[in-house]
Structure 1
Amino acid sequence: MPDINGNDVSVTDEFAKHKITVVDFWASWCGPCRQEMPNLVKTYNDYKDKGLGIIGVSLDEHKEQWADAVSTMNMTWTQLSDLQGWNNSAAKMYGIQAIPFTIIVDNTGKVIAAGLRGDDLTTFIASRLGHSGTTDTQR
């Protein structure tokens, strides 16, 4: 699927770069998506160096509105869209019927969780990536 610059991106290649990847289905015109975005930005910034990747899949139809939203909301992760709205190929493949919607996959693309938002999403990511190495209590 094309990224925001028009380059084709393989999601499986993106998955392989991270321990876990959140696939975030959203759109610039979706109020609940925009409300959720500051939480996702914070979570990304907190965990990107620990193995978190995010792929935004926009259900927008107009590139300018999509690009403006990405810039305005500081969404610095990979952004994809075929600009087909609800006919987006990834949304159809995953059976997405409402947004915002997240699917969390491991580095092989295996789905390990879905439908998490807000604190539930952050807690899940922290449980998978928050503890690196051994702590004193684990010794």
Structure 2
Amino acid sequence: MEFEITRRFLAHGQTHLRKIKIRKINRPLLTRDGLRGQSRCGEKRQQDQKSHAGRIHPVEAEDNRTSPTQELPKVVVRGNFPPMRTKLLLTSIAALGLAFNTLQAGFFDEIKGDLIDVPAGDSPKYTALYFSAHWCPPCRMFTPKLVEWYKDFKKTHPNFELVFVSSDRDEASMKEYIEGDKMPWPVVKFDQAESETFRKYSSDGIPYLVLIDENGKDLTGQAGNEWQPPMQVLEKIEKIVPAGS
């Protein structure tokens, strides 16, 4: 079917009229159904728009925002798509949750499995790592003083714990050192004392003390720096760790 219309246009400063023939072509209308290149006839499109219309949340009819009563056609997806891999998705979610729990765990909770005689009760927020050895004369002189300080400090600072990290040459020497000085604090297992978990906080000399918070942060500025006398570190600990529960 053809139509004839008259169109006005301007050329060289004069207005002209020209008749143009237009042919009507029956072509299907494209719809937004989620698949590129898929089309349906206009009648089918109108039916789909009615059946899949959804009411949106009320917003003001202003600028590019829609009105409370406006209805929009839902997006319809058609085609052969592979099923969603539910098992893989659930595994990913579980892994994410595990990672989140690991991040949430405190430093002391993370090292519990590496300790001998883990104390009962809530995990402390502050942990002092004590690097020492039976063969070290300065260590043997300082440890008895540290034992007395620890017993007194723990009475008023329940959120604090001290952990012994041995630098001994063998496990027998470590046990002799622990029993001989009657160490009252938790001890890292001998085969874990050289692990990166603890050695990253160590220094180039012993006896050595460093205070760690529940996020694994060095609070005394010791780790990786030059050795500082342990008595000076104890003074820092007394200033940093709050008393009470």
Q: Could you tell me how far apart the structure 2 residues matched to 1:39 and 1:105 are?
A: 21
Give the TM-score normalised by structure 1.
0.70
The offset of 1:32, in angstroms, is 0.8
1:117 to 221, 230, 233: 230
> Which one has more relative contact order, counting CA pairs under 8 Å at least 6 apart?
1
2:240 alignment partner in structure 1: 128
- Over the matched positions of the two proteins, sequence identity in percent amounts to 24
Aligned residues: 121
1:72 aligns to 2:180 (yes or no)? yes
Q: Could you tell me how far apart the structure 2 residues matched to 1:98 and 1:59 are?
A: 10
Superposed counterparts of 1:2-41, under 5 Å: 8-9=113-114, 17-41=123-147
1:43 alignment partner in structure 2: 149
Higher helix share: 1
The offset of 1:84, in angstroms, is 8.5
Unaligned runs of 5+ in 2: 1-111, 223-227
8 A Cα contact 1:61 1:83, kept in partner = no
The offset of 1:104, in angstroms, is 0.7
Q: Could you tell me how far apart the structure 1 residues matched to 2:162 and 2:126 are?
A: 8
Q: Could you tell me how far apart the structure 2 residues matched to 1:95 and 1:69 are?
A: 20
Give the TM-score normalised by structure 2.
0.42
Q: Could you tell me how far apart the structure 1 residues matched to 2:204 and 2:189 are?
A: 16
Q: Could you tell me how far apart the structure 2 residues matched to 1:95 and 1:126 are?
A: 20
Matched residue of 1:55: which SS?
strand
